[in-house]
Structure 1
Amino acid sequence: MYTVKEVAELLDLTVHTIRFYTDKGLVPGLQRDKNNNRIFNDDSIHWLTGAKNLKKCGMSVEDIKKYVDLCLEGDATIEERYEIIRKQKEAVLAQLEEVKFMAEFITNKEEHYRDIINQVIPDDTNPAYWSKETPITSCALKTC
């Protein structure tokens, strides 16, 4: 059996997070000692690990709770659980595309600044230097 503090260290979670997850019902069958302190066995650590990983994938606590409840119902809920995971995968892949765009944008911006620093091109990134003649299509307004 493990204490909240031991589980926090084991799973690299905060004590607060573990208490929050247990209060939200993400750890079925949670046991308590004679002083009403949470105590964890291997099964509860597995539930916490699953909750931690789903949360890292961006799943809401409410959806994790629904997933846990479906798991407890057994094999008849496999398709429903699959659907929860599939929808979360779609959300994660959409986020990945956003991050790819951000990485490309900032890489291009860095290269643009490097060219300015190396005096390959003039500084067109500072609005104080823009004039009415500066075209709207200026690199400063685009992804470069």
Structure 2
Amino acid sequence: MYTLKQFAKMFQTTEHTIRYYTDINLLPRERDKGNRRIFNEESINWMQGIVCLKGCGASIEDIKEYCELCRLPESKETLSARYQIILRQREQAYQRVEEAKATAAYMDEKVKHYEKILAGVIPDDTNPENWTEDTRRRNIDALQNRGRFL
């Protein structure tokens, strides 16, 4: 059995987060004689699932729906519904990967730009305080061409 503090530390999160998850029935827990939350191995399993879904960017609503489906009697319908949630999360994860790639490519261009400035090849036009209408337009175009506006 783990105390709230131990459990939060185990998952590198806050006690407040763990309390919230138990309050909205995402995370099972028991109570000790002092009515304090305590957690067992099953709680660890559920928390690992929550952390995984959260890491994929799943909303609390999606995680809650997934957990509720897991608690229902096993059936083709519940399995299919959980599968659909996982498919959605996978798609969102791939979208974030593409956004990250676009952002990294944009930053690669910024690094090259700074290197030209530092080498004295072009004047410094990176300080927003000195931007002109043309500079702003170029920056917006570059960002939009990367599929993302920062």
**Shorter-normalised TM-score: what interval?**
0.7 to 0.9
Aligned pairs for 1:16-55 (under 5 A) are: 16-28=16-28, 30-55=29-54
Q: Does residue 2 of the first structure (1) align with residue 2 of the second (2)?
A: yes
Relative distance call for 1:136 and 1:11 in structure 2 (3 A) is closer
1:64 is paired with a residue of what secondary structure?
helix
1:72-105 CA-partner distances (Å, limit 9, x unpaired): 1143111100100101111111121111111111
Instruction: Name the structure 2 match of 1:15.
Output: 15
Q: Which has the larger radius of gyration?
A: 1
Relative distance call for 1:42 and 1:113 in structure 2 (3 A) is same
Residue identity opposite 1:79 in structure 2: S
Residue identity opposite 1:121 in structure 2: I
What TM-score, normalized to structure 1?
0.84
Give 1:6 shift: 1.0
State the aligned residue count. 140
Instruction: Name the structure 1 match of 2:57.
Output: 58
Aligned equivalents of 1:18, 1:129: Cα separation in 2: 46
Aligned equivalents of 1:32, 1:135: Cα separation in 2: 61
Aligned equivalents of 1:135, 1:59: Cα separation in 2: 37
Give 1:129 shift: 6.9
Aligned pairs for 1:65-104 (under 5 A) are: 65-76=64-75, 77-104=78-105
1:39 is paired with a residue of what secondary structure?
strand
Aligned equivalents of 2:9, 2:140: Cα separation in 1: 47
Aligned equivalents of 1:136, 1:22: Cα separation in 2: 48
Instruction: Name the structure 1 match of 2:146.
Output: none
Aligned equivalents of 2:110, 2:48: Cα separation in 1: 39
Aligned equivalents of 2:127, 2:10: Cα separation in 1: 49
Q: What is the RMSD computed on CA atoms of the aligned residues?
A: 2.4
What TM-score, normalized to structure 2?
0.81
Relative distance call for 1:53 and 1:121 in structure 2 (3 A) is same
Residue identity opposite 1:33 in structure 2: D
Instruction: Name the structure 1 match of 2:147.
Output: none
